[in-house]
Amino acid sequence: MASVETAAEHERILREIESTDTNCIGPTLRSVYDGQEHGLFMAKLDARIRNHDREIEKMCNHHFQGFVDSITELLKVRGEAQKLKSQVTETNRSIQGEGKDLMSSMEELRQCRVQQRNIATTVDKLTHCLPVLEMYRRLQEQMDAKRYYPALRTSEQLEQTCLPRAGQYRFCAIMAENLPKLRTQIRDTAMTQLKDFLESIRKHSDKIGETAIRQAQLQRSLDSSISSQPRALFGRRLRREEAPGGVTQSNGGLEVHPGILDVGDEEEADQVTGAQDLVDFSPVYRCLHIYTVLGLRDVFENYYRKQRRKQARLVLQPHSNMHETLEGYRRYFNQIVGFFVVEDHVLHTTQGLVNRAYVEELWELALSKIVAALRTHSSYCDDPDLVLDLKNLIVLFADTLQGYGFPVSQLFDMLLEMREQYGEILLKKWNLTFRQVLDQDNFSPIPVSTEQEYRHYMSQFPLQDPELEKLPFPKKLPFSEFVPKVYCQLKEFIYACLKYSEDLHLSSTEVDDMIRKSTNLLLTRTLSHCLHYAIKKKNVGLAELVQVIINTTHLEQSCHFLEEFISNITNVPPDTANATKLYGTSTFKDARHAAEAEIYTGLNAKIDQFLQLADYDWMVSLPSGTSPTPSDYLLDLMAFLKSTFSVFTNLPGAPIEHAILPVSIIIAPC
């Protein structure tokens, strides 16, 4: 049983050796030597080798004749091969001889092809390099001509398009190194021009504002003369559209003064379409475009806004002596208008350099400072004409800025506040005027000798006396010069109040109410105090007091004419609901009562003086049959009273009764 297994194992090993590569039979042989029957295996292997040798011998015997035939055929082929080799050698020799010329031609052709390729390469390189050189030359010309924005565009195209195509050349590297320096130079130059522009408009803002205000004044005059046409916005011409990447050139591209166009004379200045046309904004546009191309737009916007805020603070700072003359206010307003005209134009001609929120913020800051400055400086003013001129200037200033879209309601509110101050100044002025009229009055009726004189006084004061009309010349008016002068001054005061209310966008009712209230203050406070001052003044005789009573009586009667006068100039009927009534009647009544009281006091004092000076002989004896005669002192008193009562002939009954009553009490016992 073991020998059978050993034989099978040896058979398997032999098959494995036959079928396995000789490099891998090591493990197989090792397994044989590991066993104990390697002798048997060797015998088995020898038997297998002998079998294979017999098979090889049989195969060789079978193919031997074919092998011999092949050898014989191969020998024949060798001879033919020798002949063919000789022929090939000869053919090669002839081909080599004939191919030398061809090789020479081919070499020449190769050299030509190389030259042609080099020429094509050179042409191609030159095709890419020449635009670079041409563009760089154009860049230098633009820099020399100070056309910085086109130069920046050219440098950008040169760097991004032309230089990459040209290749790595030394001149390209030099150009690439110079381009950042050129950009820095362009940026610095543009910033320098912008600074010059900002400085220029700061210096010339008053000129710009003056032009804008003059246009507003002209527009308002046109609007008032042509009321049927709707009011147009003034001071603004059609905006010129900016071409993409373009720069607006003014004055033919020649900058006479940075930021301000050169206007030859006033006639040319009057022909300027808008105030903004006085300004050459090209430095702003150019700098904006340059910084946008450089990717520094935010830096430029922040710088521009910061500088303009600083300029706004300078413009809004008034001079300490601005309140002394109207020219100081006008220069202050011109600078502010000029500043915001420039900002409005920049807002509408640039895309985002300044926005509406920024401009509104600046205007709110300016408005608060303007109102505060005007309140402070106007409080120093005590001249009504200057206040009125200032008011007109503020209205024109507000209308100008309103035409550019700025809200100005606070300015008109401030003007309403100034109206109270204006009224107080007017009251002070008229107080001096009334006192001057009273001091210059002779307190005697006005003599009139001709019809012309009579009409002259009737034009000054509305006297309605049919009896006086019938009297022949010469004749006397019942009142003194005080009456027509005061009446004219009252009308002048009303006109002064009306002038201030013009152009304040007030309704007729508001104007009428303002005038009536101011007139009431004039009557009840100023004129009343002046009349009491004149009545209480020392050395005022009874004749003057009587004339005061007559004067106040006629002024009282003229109050309804003042009512009609105010209604006519304000176009508000006097019977309108809630209309303020004039207090002139009570004012003149109070003054008349004060004069009557002074007459009563004066008469009593004079009578007491007569009685105190009287020296009576109480023990005098009269002859029989004779009647007693009045004392000389009493006769003097009666003569005084008679002459005094003659002055009362034109007075109403009440003062006469007040004066006669004490006299009758004194004379009754006599």
Tens digits of per-residue pLDDT, 325-375? 889 999 999 999 999 999 999 999 888 888 899 999 999 999 999 999 988
Q: Tell me which of 417 and 245 has the higher pLDDT.
A: 417
Residue 273, pLDDT score: 58
- Which residue, chain included where needed, has tokens 């019809």? 451
Residue 633, pLDDT score: 61
How confident is the model over 370-424, as pLDDT tens digits?
Answer: 999 988 888 888 888 899 899 999 999 999 999 888 999 999 989 988 888 898 9
The SS3 assignment for 423 reads: helix
Give the mean pLDDT of 421-449: 89
Q: Which residues are within 8 A (CB) of 206 and not within 5 positions of it... i.e. 6 or more apart?
A: 331, 334, 335, 338
Identify the band that residue 249 occupies on the pLDDT scale cut at 50, 70 and 90.
very low
Residue 667, pLDDT score: 43
263-272, 332-341, 560-569: least confidently modelled range: 263-272
Q: CA nearest 404: which of 352, 365, 317, 346?
A: 346
Is the model's pLDDT at 324 over the cut of 70?
yes
> CA-CA distance, 65 to 45, in Å (whole number)?
32
Is the model's pLDDT at 664 over the cut of 60?
no
Is the model's pLDDT at 598 over the cut of 70?
yes
DSSP conformation class of 324? G
Give the mean pLDDT of 163-179: 82
Residue 627, pLDDT score: 60
Token pair for 635? 């006769």
Query: Measuring CA to CA, how many Å separate 117 from each of 6, 131, 166, 185, 594?
Result: 83, 22, 18, 42, 127
Identify the band that residue 241 occupies on the pLDDT scale cut at 50, 70 and 90.
very low
Cβ atoms of 286 and 149 closer than 8 Å: yes
CB atoms within 10 A of CB 337: 28
What is the radius of gyration, based on Cα positions, of the chain? 62
The SS3 assignment for 257 reads: strand
Q: Tell me which of 556 and 119 has the higher pLDDT.
A: 119
Residue 659 is which amino acid? A
Is the model's pLDDT at 490 over the cut of 70?
yes
Q: Tell me which of 401 and 612 has the higher pLDDT.
A: 401
> CA-CA distance, 218 to 41, in Å (whole number)?
138
Token pair for 449? 């000798």
Residue 430, pLDDT score: 92
Identify the band that residue 666 occupies on the pLDDT scale cut at 50, 70 and 90.
very low
How confident is the model over 27-83, as pLDDT tens digits?
Answer: 776 777 766 667 777 888 888 888 888 888 888 887 787 888 888 888 888 888 888
The SS3 assignment for 265 reads: coil
Average pLDDT of the chain?
Answer: 79
Is the model's pLDDT at 468 over the cut of 50?
yes
> CA-CA distance, 249 to 466, in Å (whole number)?
79
Cβ atoms of 532 and 591 closer than 8 Å: yes
Q: Which residues are within 8 A (CB) of 450 and not within 5 positions of it... i.e. 6 or more apart?
A: 473
Identify the band that residue 276 occupies on the pLDDT scale cut at 50, 70 and 90.
confident
> CA-CA distance, 467 to 479, in Å (whole number)?
15
Cβ atoms of 382 and 245 closer than 8 Å: no
Cβ atoms of 653 and 548 closer than 8 Å: no
Percentage of residues in the chain with pLDDT exceeding 90?
16
DSSP conformation class of 22? G
Residue 22, pLDDT score: 65
Cis peptide before 462 (omega within 30 of 0): no
Q: Which residues are within 8 A (CB) of 19 and not within 5 positions of it... i.e. 6 or more apart?
A: none
The torsion angles phi and psi of 170, rounded to 5 degrees, stand at: -65, -40
Token pair for 20? 């396995």
Is the model's pLDDT at 126 over the cut of 50?
yes
> CA-CA distance, 556 to 578, in Å (whole number)?
23
Residue 196, pLDDT score: 92
Cβ atoms of 524 and 587 closer than 8 Å: yes
Residue 241 is which amino acid? E
Identify the band that residue 659 occupies on the pLDDT scale cut at 50, 70 and 90.
very low
Residue 302, pLDDT score: 92
Give the mean pLDDT of 444-466: 86
Is the model's pLDDT at 113 over the cut of 90?
yes
Supply the DSSP string of 125-155, one letter for each residue. HHHHHHHHHHHHHHHHHHHHTT-HHHHHHHH
Q: Tell me which of 36 and 662 has the higher pLDDT.
A: 36
Token pair for 141? 């010309």
Is the model's pLDDT at 434 over the cut of 70?
yes
Token pair for 316? 């809004």
> CA-CA distance, 218 to 221, in Å (whole number)?
5
Q: Is 217 exposed, middle or buried (0-12, 13-18, 19+ CB in 10 A)?
A: middle
Q: CA nearest 384: which of 436, 423, 434?
A: 423
Token pair for 642? 């008679």
> CA-CA distance, 241 to 394, in Å (whole number)?
33
- Print burial letters for 358-370: b (CB count within 10 Å at least 16), e (below 16): bbeebbeebbebb
Cβ atoms of 248 and 240 closer than 8 Å: yes
Query: Measuring CA to CA, how many Å separate 407 from each of 209, 276, 330, 359, 490?
Result: 17, 20, 20, 12, 37
Q: Tell me which of 8 and 456 has the higher pLDDT.
A: 456
Residue 663, pLDDT score: 44
DSSP conformation class of 479? S
